[in-house]
Amino acid sequence: MSSVRPLEAADIDQVAALYLETFLRRGKSPSLDLITCLENFYLSGPTVDRQIPSLVHVNDKGAISGFVGVNVVPMKFSENRLRAAFGGTLMVRDREQDPMAGARLLKTFLSGPQDLSLSETANTTSLEMAKALRGVPFASYSLEWMRILKPAAFACDMALRKSSLRKWALPAARGLDWLHGWSGYAGGRVAKDAARTAKAEPVKHVDAEAFAGSVEILTSHYQLRPDWPGPQWRHVVREAFEKPLYGQPVAALVTGNGSPIGAFLYHLREGGVGRVLQMLALPGREGKVIDCLLADADRRGAAGLRGRTHPAFLEAMLGRNMMFANVTNTVAFCRDEAIIDCFRRGQALANGLAGESWGRHIGGNFT
């Protein structure tokens, strides 16, 4: 008979194989780097809470056939402290043979002692299960935004980013983009407008330590936010920098009168589409931060940018030629209606550094 139990160290090899099969599909055995990464994140890292463990589904033959990874984030809601548990990396092998495995994993996760349960990576199947279990999805946290800077290179990178043909097609795409820019392509003009606007707000590129040091002042206005001490924030940001599949990390503070008014962190492969992990801004400065981000990426030759929406930035994105799509969803489970209302009002900091996507298992190169 199948069962659900806490993840153990002896399970990691099987979990890594399932991860490779589900998300990377390379048909190979998991590398030692992947095994170590998952072990660190789900068994020994600073977001591990023994009372709220990651879970495995064991089939009637004793093999691991499912997994949900859990990382626990201490949060502050107004002046109250609580534990938020992010359940992600939900995966099940042979769903047809045991269609309830995913639901059992999710129900066991939700029965833990956490004050708030969250997912920022719920796909369509997980979303339907979450709704059946009274989860509340939030559209304003669940959209992926995209901004094209160089249309031909953008199309090339999106279509061939995992192909060896990319390095041959990209130079031709850049040539087409040069012709577009020379002819006054509207997207290029918007990028130049952003650059002019960004000149008024100095941008200082920083390392992981300096970026982590700015987070508290740039997030203190949120009613619900992570409540990590400094060393834990530094660990999270250092891990977030390491995403070689996405490219080199670019982190910067946007300053006004010598003090930070915003920040951004993204990863960029040469000539490709940058992946924005985090944008932060003091209230009313969101548009400035977006303009500085666009200008910075344009100067570095990025084909475009993509990232996850947050309500605080949505209005500022209007008029900046953004496109939006729904790929994965942010869902919350909580009996406290005041916390759910906090999300509805956009006063909760979630996703990115305040979620699970900062982990090195997302964007790592595990060949």
CA distance 257 to 366: 43
Does the 3-139 domain belong in CATH 3.20.20.60? no
b/e per residue 335-350 (b: at least 16 CB within 10 A): eeeebbebbeebbbbb
Smallest Cα–Cα separation from 334: which of 77, 96, 99, 159?
A: 77
pLDDT at 200: 59
CA distance 335 to 342: 13
Tell me how crowded residue 171 is: count the other CB atoms within 10 A of its CB.
11
> Residue-wise pLDDT tens for the chain (367 aa)?
789 999 999 999 999 999 998 887 766 789 999 999 999 999 999 999 999 999 999 988 889 999 999 999 999 999 899 999 999 889 998 877 777 899 999 999 999 999 999 999 998 888 998 999 999 999 999 999 999 999 888 888 888 777 777 877 787 787 787 776 655 555 555 566 666 666 657 899 999 999 999 999 999 999 999 999 889 999 999 999 999 999 999 999 999 888 999 999 999 998 899 999 999 999 999 999 999 999 999 999 999 999 999 999 999 999 999 999 999 999 999 999 999 999 999 999 999 999 989 999 999 988 7
Smallest Cα–Cα separation from 120: which of 357, 293, 343, 341?
A: 357
Give 79's contacts (C-beta < 8 A, 6+ positions apart).
none
From residue 255, alpha-carbon distances to 48, 77, 207, 238, 314 in Å are 34, 27, 16, 22, 21
Domain with CATH 3.40.630.30 in the chain: 3-139, 144-325
What residues form DSSP beta bridges with 66?
A: 57, 92
Check: CB of residue 43 under 8 Å from CB of residue 71.
no
State pTM to two decimals: 0.91
From residue 302, alpha-carbon distances to 147, 170, 284, 336 in Å are 10, 12, 27, 43
Domain 144-325: CATH architecture, name and number where available: 3-Layer(aba) Sandwich (3.40)
Start-to-end CA distance of the chain, whole Å, equals: 35
pLDDT at 39: 96
Residues recorded for the chain: 367
Angle 124-132/101-110 helices, nearest 10 degrees?
60
pLDDT at 188: 55
Q: Which two tokens stand for residue 72?
A: 């626990």
